[in-house]
């Protein structure tokens, strides 16, 4: 079964997503980029409130969009976010000359880091395998740009399946995100990642608008349905949302 990761920006959205069945609550600020970071005080406040109501529901938070060579800033932010009370700290890493060293640094930090490999500019087997070999709790594949293209516009399903297999063989939880919507549901289900992450597909009017708990519930149902099952409307999409809702 694929768990739904709902990206939220406030305590109200976090509670709505949790009540609607999202298995993982992910804290980020969509106005500040693909992995925009909330203020540390806001992360701590939301995490504290969620723990009180949902003590076993995992919480992740992004550190913000930073270049891979900003090693000091990344390390400081990772520790601050971790100390704010989340389970996983998400850090975006794009392919490039500084990527390998950044991954090495993340593996040595006293925090549970989930590298988010950003595939817009391409990704390669070597970096994926190296990341998986360092023993991270999880590895995600995502896109940095939210301009309407999806993860599958940058990476084909067979390649993604190979990358997920490489990471799983090392014991990592694997996830995908990146403008995912109803048009990609069957591809998501075919890959069967441990986690699928969404923002825009869960919102009423684009990723910067408010999260809609009804959409969260519909996506939870779709991801949990056995392969080959049909939606409530008799087809592979959730009723009433069409193919345009994307992260």
Kindly calculate the radius of gyration of the chain based on its CA atoms and give it in whole angstroms: 17
* Structural tokens at position 128: 């994926």
Residue linked to tokens 């390669």: 124
| Count of CB atoms situated within 10 Å of the CB of 100 | 16
The 10 Å Cβ neighbour count of residue 43 is: 24
Instruction: Say if residues 96 and 128 touch (Cβ distance below 8 Å).
Output: no
And the tokens for 19? 């009540």
Of residues 9, 77, 90, 199, which has the active-site annotation? 90
Q: How many CB atoms lie under 10 A from the CB of residue 75?
A: 16
Give me the catalytic one of 20, 27, 28, 103. Answer: 28
- Of the candidates 63, 112, 119, 127, the one whose C-alpha atom is nearest the C-alpha of residue 91 is 63
Query: Is 90 one of the catalytic residues?
Result: yes
Closest CA to 63 of 77, 73, 47, 48: 77
CA-nearest of 111, 92, 112 to 102 is 92
First-to-last alpha carbon distance for the chain, in angstroms, is 20
Residue 146 annotated to the active site:
no
Cα 148 to Cα 75: distance, rounded to the nearest angstrom: 31
Which residues are annotated as catalytic?
A: 28, 90
């Amino acid at each position: 079964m694929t768990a739904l990761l709902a990206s939220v920006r406030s305590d109200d959205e976090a509670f709505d997503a949790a009540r609607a069945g999202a298995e993982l609550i992910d804290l980020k600020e969509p106005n500040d980029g693909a992995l925009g970071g909330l203020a540390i005080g806001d992360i701590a406040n939301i995490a504290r409130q969620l723990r009180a109501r949902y003590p076993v529901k995992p919480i992740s938070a992004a550190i913000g969009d930073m270049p891979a060579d900003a090693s000091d800033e990344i390390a400081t932010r990772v520790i601050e976010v971790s100390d704010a009370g989340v389970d996983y700290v998400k850090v975006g890493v794009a392919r490039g000359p500084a990527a390998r060293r950044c991954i090495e640094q993340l593996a040595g930090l006293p925090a549970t880091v989930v590298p988010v490999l950003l595939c817009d500019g391409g990704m390669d087997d070597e970096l994926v395998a190296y990341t998986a070999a360092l023993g991270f709790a999880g590895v995600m594949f995502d896109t940095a740009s939210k301009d309407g293209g999806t993860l599958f516009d940058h990476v084909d399903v067979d390649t993604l399946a190979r990358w997920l297999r490489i990471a799983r063989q090392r014991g990592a939880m694997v996830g995908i995100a990146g403008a995912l919507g109803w048009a990609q549901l069957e591809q998501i289900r075919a890959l069967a990642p441990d986690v699928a992450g969404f923002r825009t597909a869960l919102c009423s009017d684009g990723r910067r608008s408010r999260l809609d708990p009804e959409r969260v519930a519909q996506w939870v149902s779709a991801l949990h349905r056995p392969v080959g099952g049909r939606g409530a409307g008799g087809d592979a999409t959730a009723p009433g949302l069409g193919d345009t809702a994307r992260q």
